[in-house]
Amino acid sequence: MKYLAASMVLLSGFTCARAGLADEVSPEIRSAALRVAVTTCATCHGPQGNSISPKFPRLAGQSAAYITAQMKNFKNHARGDADAVGYMWGMAAPVDDDLIVGLADYYSKQKPAAGEKSSDAAAIGRGKAIYTEGIAAGGVPPCASCHGASAAGTADFPRLAGQTTQYLVKQLRAFHTNLRDVAVMHGVTSGLSAENINDVAAYLASLGP
Amino acid sequence: MNGRIYNWTFTAALFALASIGWAPTANAVPSFARQTGMACEACHTIYPELNHFGRVFKANGYTLDNLKGVRDITGEKQEMLALTGLPPISLMVQVSGTWLSKQIPDSTGIDGRAQNGTIAFPQQISLFYAGKIAPNVGGFIQLTYGNDSGTFGIDNTDLRYANAVVLPNEQSLIYGISLNNNPTVQDLWNSTPAFGFPYAGSNANVSPLAGTQIDGALGQDVAGVSVYAFWKEALYAELGVYRSAKQGASNPVTGAAGPLDGSISNVVKGSAPYFRLAYEHQWGRNSLEAGVYGANFKLLPGANADPTVPVVPAGVTNEFKDFAQDFQYQYIGEQHLFSLAGTRIHEKMNLDASSFTGEVANATNDLTTWRIWGTYYYKRKIGGTIGAFSTAGSMDAGLYGAGAAPGVVTSANGQPDTKGWIAELNYVPWLNTKLSLQYTAYTKFNGGKDDYDGFGRNASDNNTIYALVWFTY
């Protein structure tokens, strides 16, 4: 528990960012963010952030603080998973701080679409157990303790509900290998097998808005 | 570069299966990667085939960038200048080997003097400026050195103004203007001629007699302007016109670069209209596009040097009405890439000018070309394409004539039919390097399977093995 608490402080340091509260986003920035979201981001992340291809993460309803932190991590190259390097380092580079706040605000307010329901009910069941109870033997805490009971996330911890299976699996693997360097997530995923990762992803992807 | 590339034995050792036709040029350039900061796979499956994001990048005028640049604004914050900090320049090098199933008869009349096959070093080197020019303006400009011409010259060029707006229901509308020098070079899909498969091919093989005008015949000989709109990144519509704009031509009276007069053959009379309509649907990892395109070219024949040939009255032309359909399907997975594409072009010829001179047998002819190809890649490393092609149409012994010995490029029966299949194997060690082995097989060539030219050459004699090393950087 001490480890978990310390990790949460560390994680807060990584992910906590000055979030744009609704009344802090000016109409000019809101308008500029809408334009960029519709004409650029949507090409991959889909209309209103509900991506069509499972390769690109859904952004609809995502935590504004988390989006802000990730955009900054793309800009300063702190986030180094493969698709971050190949796609988002370039995309985020010209985005200034005001626009980041505006985009984060925009996507946080979008209505997430239903996720992809796997036909493997057993995998979903196993994934739910891991998410809500963790794996005591493997030292894996319940994901719900940070990401929320319904995986809707909090101000600092990202929404996972309805995210694409492919993206979730890729990120969990990236945390596991430290390709994406986040200490607490590395600790969490160290105890997850490949099957565990697939099961958790199947469960999370099946969750509706 | 690896010193082994210079060893032609190494290059020759690559051969397996080969290719045909013109040596088409690339649309994929690291200039864009430098400008956007994004790796090739963001916009391409394997270069030069575009994915959806790449199509939108092109539709937006090649202006997406991540570079600190030189900017200037007015007092009302309107952009007056947007120069990229680094010029988006890149280079492409193609080194190749071509082997025909049966050697071409020696032009001196005595066989056994010719080299076996052709090593092209280089076949082509191209310099690209591809990227942002000004706010909302971008370009794809290619200058090419080819071993056939031995000189540098202007190649595919597409200059654009584009803007994207948000419609009331948060849908996007991209609209723009393209100035370009090759019909379909501006198109967003790889199913149309300018950037269709094969993306690279031999220039040391035997080209078929017949082809439609819109199928590359006018590249770099025309200049066009078109307006387009791309709604919801799904429905695409474009209208444009083309005029002749030839390179290296001069007016005989003044010695100036224009106007093109009767001393030049095949000048477009007035302006040739061009249209394009396409719809793309995306679902999961898939996209499917279907569309139509076409153009109408009226070509003034120009003066005939032969004084015995009747003079064509002023304004009489040979008219080529091209109407085509195309489709492109793509599946983009993490490990597997698959695409299937094709096009069918039908050309109706009204050969008033050539009928007047007696150079053709028929006042009207039809010609239809179709191509279909499927491509697969595993982990963006190894893959290939298999395709089939066909050109067939009206018999016309004047248009598709028999000729003097040694034949090869002529038709004994006056038919344009050329058909076959093509297979290509690719290895992509790095995203900007492609090693290819291509094989093209003809079941018919210039109207015949056996002895198509009347001098004993068979269609299969033109079967081609083509090995290519293609760098872009």
Rg (CA), chain A: 16
Fold of B3-472: Porin (2.40.160)
Q: Would you call B53 and A52 a contact, using CB atoms and an 8 Å cutoff?
A: no
Lowest mean pLDDT among A15-19, A76-80, B293-297: A15-19
**Alpha-helix residue ranges (DSSP H) falling in A38-182:** 42-45, 64-75, 82-83, 89-92, 97-108, 121-133, 144-147, 165-177
Is residue A65 within 8 A of residue A74, CB to CB? The reply is no
The alpha carbon of residue A131 and the mean position of all alpha carbons in its chain are separated, in whole angstroms, by 15
Do strands B172-180 and B222-231 pair parallel, antiparallel, or not at all (unpaired)? antiparallel
Pick the residue from chain A with its C-alpha nearest to B59: A39
Per the listing, tokens 């690339």 go with B26
For the record, the structure tokens of B15 come out as 């051969």
Q: What angle do CA A18, A21, A26 make, to 5 degrees?
A: 105
Hey, is the C-beta of A77 within 8 angstroms of any chain B C-beta? no
Nearest to A43 among B53, B165, B285 (CB): B53
* Amino acid symbol at A54: P
Q: What angle do CA B215, B181, B238 make, to 5 degrees?
A: 75
Pick the residue from chain A with its C-alpha nearest to B67: A94
Hey, is the C-beta of A93 within 8 angstroms of any chain B C-beta? yes
How far CA B378 is from CA of A4, A35, B191, B423, in Å, comes to: 41, 36, 21, 17
Residue A2: predicted pLDDT: 45
Is residue B230 within 8 A of residue B440, CB to CB? The reply is no
For the record, the structure tokens of A51 come out as 């991506």
What are the residue ranges spanned by the domains of chain B? 3-472
Nearest to A53 among B37, B67, B285 (CB): B285
Which residues of chain B neighbour A38 with C-beta distances below 8 Å? 166, 170-172
Q: Is the peptide bond before B259 cis (omega within 30 degrees of 0)?
A: yes
pLDDT digits (tens, 9 = 90+) for A117-175: 888 999 999 999 999 999 998 889 999 999 999 999 987 899 999 999 999 999 999 99
Hey, is the C-beta of A36 within 8 angstroms of any chain B C-beta? no
Which candidate, B86, B83, B82, places its Cα nearest to that of B37?
Answer: B86
Burial of residue A93, with CB atoms counted within 10 A of its CB: 0-12 exposed, 13-18 middle, 19 or more buried: middle
* Amino acid symbol at B194: A
Q: Which residues of chain B have a pLDDT value below 70?
A: 1-28, 66-68
Burial of residue B217, with CB atoms counted within 10 A of its CB: 0-12 exposed, 13-18 middle, 19 or more buried: middle
Which candidate, A35, A46, A73, A38, places its Cα nearest to that of A162?
Answer: A46
Rg (CA), chain B: 23
Question: Does pLDDT of A4 surpass 60?
Answer: no
Which residues of chain B neighbour A58 with C-beta distances below 8 Å? none
Q: What residues does B300 pair with on adjacent strands?
A: B267
DSSP string for residues in A78-91: ---SHHIIIIIHHH
**What is the pTM (predicted TM-score) of this model?**
0.89
Other beta carbons within 10 angstroms of residue B308's beta carbon come to: 6
Phi, psi values for residue A164, rounded to 5°: -70, 145
CA distance A19 to chain B (A): 24
Is residue B223 within 8 A of residue B240, CB to CB? The reply is no
Hey, is the C-beta of A91 within 8 angstroms of any chain B C-beta? yes
The C-alpha torsion from A137 through A141 and A143 to A148, rounded to 10°, is 140
Q: Would you call A44 and B53 a contact, using CB atoms and an 8 Å cutoff?
A: yes
Q: Best interface-test mutation with A: which of B232, B334, B431 has the largest number of A CBs within 10 A?
A: B334
The C-alpha torsion from B14 through B19 and B23 to B29, rounded to 10°, is -60
Question: Does pLDDT of A45 surpass 70?
Answer: yes
Is residue B43 within 8 A of residue B51, CB to CB? The reply is yes
Domains defined along chain A, listed by start: 20-108 (1.10.760.10), 121-206 (1.10.760.10)
Hey, is the C-beta of B170 within 8 angstroms of any chain A C-beta? yes
Q: Would you call B42 and A87 a contact, using CB atoms and an 8 Å cutoff?
A: yes
Q: Would you call A53 and B282 a contact, using CB atoms and an 8 Å cutoff?
A: yes
> What is the rounded CA–CA span in Å between residue A39 and residue B170?
9
DSSP string for residues in B322-382: EEEEEEEEEEE-SSEEEEEEEEEEEEEEEEHHHHHHT-SS-SEEEEEEEEEEEEEEETTTE
DSSP code, position B312: P
Q: What residues does B82 pair with on adjacent strands?
A: B71
Inter-chain CB pairs, A–B, below 8 Å: 66
Pick the residue from chain A with its C-alpha nearest to B84: A94
Is residue B403 within 8 A of residue B411, CB to CB? The reply is no
Q: Best interface-test mutation with B: which of A29, A36, A40 has the largest number of B CBs within 10 A?
A: A40
Q: Would you call A86 and B171 a contact, using CB atoms and an 8 Å cutoff?
A: no
Hey, is the C-beta of A38 within 8 angstroms of any chain B C-beta? yes
